[in-house]
Structure 1
């Protein structure tokens, strides 16, 4: 369960529900003289040709939408797949261009993302091309990042093509779980709280549909966008959660993109894959995973040997 991107990942550049009517959050960055000075040419989805006067030194993060997108603005907790071009706003040097023609870059609107980049994402939506200019205090500050070509006090310029967006939580219809199954209560943001019953666990994988989505069916071999929390059956301890912790090689908590398959070469434990394959996007599932379909008699750093596990998994999309 891991993903990586050299510049962003290594440097950090990168259920009961209470609900009600609320206004959509306002973007955390708006247009200004610096972001308006960034000239971007080329078609959406293609590597852009970017020009701007340097140095750019905005007092706060600025964002200008160059190509208008559709739908709602990105909000906290959402995952997006983007084409990303990064420049040193002080020197004008190109730092990285990635994800335009293939292999879009996953970025989440979370506290773990570089502050200026996170603010810039909140002014974008699916189909948007935006120019984001970030002052040093929302980037690498007085320390800079010399290996990346960023000196102390340098500003940054991002050009982002938001190719796809995913919801921050499963949005399917709520289904009642059977008696004796672990209880799941959702916080307002969708984060699950789990209570495992004080009973012996089953010997086989058991899957319960907590919410039923109406999206595409997950097939063996798909790359799936998920949010999940896993607990140990014995003591209800959370041992892994995309809501709370960064995965290895990733600087930020947030939805994960996982290759879900069975058999040789599988990237996730069998019980996790069994819970997802055949389900629909927008669903939330709970799955009891016995040791034989989990980490077996070896365990790992977080999971003791011969542990039964319970996961709550939100299925947010198929890449």
Structure 2
């Protein structure tokens, strides 16, 4: 079982907020400095590193050093990354958490403005395949109150070593396809967030799927766990009832035909058989949705419409 620090990470309090290094992206928010260069992390990438640094290590600003160089672009806002995570108290050298390495499930961290500020700044120098040392002062960590539950006293710094094992895109990158007349219109914001307009006509009697972008990645099979971004609206009034975009993070769940699915049948029907990198729109009838039961913002008997970006398969 993961310790409290990993649970905080997966809950989003230290979800990774990363900025990219493409031509139009901002520069990294942290750079190599005297403190981060003192962190040694030896061992093979993906295996729990042996970490050593002098104590107390108390930087004035967040610093990061790429110990093992990755490939491809720097991670950017909206991405989910799977990482091995090792966390230490920079003042005392105490180990707080080592998880996600070797045979353990990697920790999913997402680009988000809800992240711990120092982790956000430090990981702007990371990319898939990177091993990164990040040194975080109190002001970019848990602040003046610390976090006694995980062993951080007021004033303590953090030292983190992360192996970025896999990074998913923030949006579907497939080839655009035209949808048929009468299907809900979808317009994308610059960050990929969909705006949806449902037509005034009555909804179809069966669940219908349209491919809005066709990806070139692996085909999603029944029983797969997928990484997606999505927005769902009610057919009747076009109101958004749920959106991973609004919630600040892509989500993962298992899609299946029948038992084992973690989503409503219409959602699984939309994704199974599609390729990673695709964006699909799906009109979900009540029979393939929530039926005659109300669910949160969804009235009983509602027809739903989702736009789903398929970002990866775990």
Alpha-carbon deviations, 1:197-225, whole Å to 9, x = none? 11211121100000001111000111111
Alpha-carbon deviations, 1:210-243, whole Å to 9, x = none? 0001111000111111111111111111111111
Higher relative contact order (CA 8 A, sep 6+): 1
CA distance in 2, matches of 1:187, 1:169: 11
> Is 1:68 equivalent to 2:63 in the alignment?
no
Could you tell me which runs of 5 or more consecutive residues in structure 2 were left unpaired when the two chains were aligned.
Answer: 16-21
C-alpha deviation, 1:113, in angstroms: 1.6
- Off by >2 Å, runs of 4+ in structure 1: 21-25
TM-score, length-scaled by structure 1: 0.92
Secondary structure class of the residue paired with 1:147: helix
After TM superposition, list the pairs within 5 Å mapping 1:1-319 onto structure 2: 5-10=6-11, 12-14=13-15, 22-101=23-102, 102-245=104-247, 253-319=248-314
Alpha-carbon deviations, 1:14-63, whole Å to 9, x = none? 3xxxxxx9434321111011111111111100001111112222121111
Secondary structure class of the residue paired with 1:257: strand
CA distance in 2, matches of 1:243, 1:153: 35
CA distance in 1, matches of 2:44, 2:148: 32
CA distance in 2, matches of 1:225, 1:129: 23
Secondary structure class of the residue paired with 2:125: coil
Alpha-carbon deviations, 1:121-167, whole Å to 9, x = none? 21111110000011111111012111111112221111000001111
Contact 1:109–1:122 under 8 Å retained in 2: no
CA distance in 2, matches of 1:108, 1:10: 10
CA distance in 2, matches of 1:136, 1:72: 29
TM-score, length-scaled by structure 2: 0.93
Alpha-carbon deviations, 1:269-288, whole Å to 9, x = none? 11001000000011000001
C-alpha RMSD of the superposition: 1.5
Could you tell me which runs of 5 or more consecutive residues in structure 1 were left unpaired when the two chains were aligned.
Answer: 15-20, 246-252
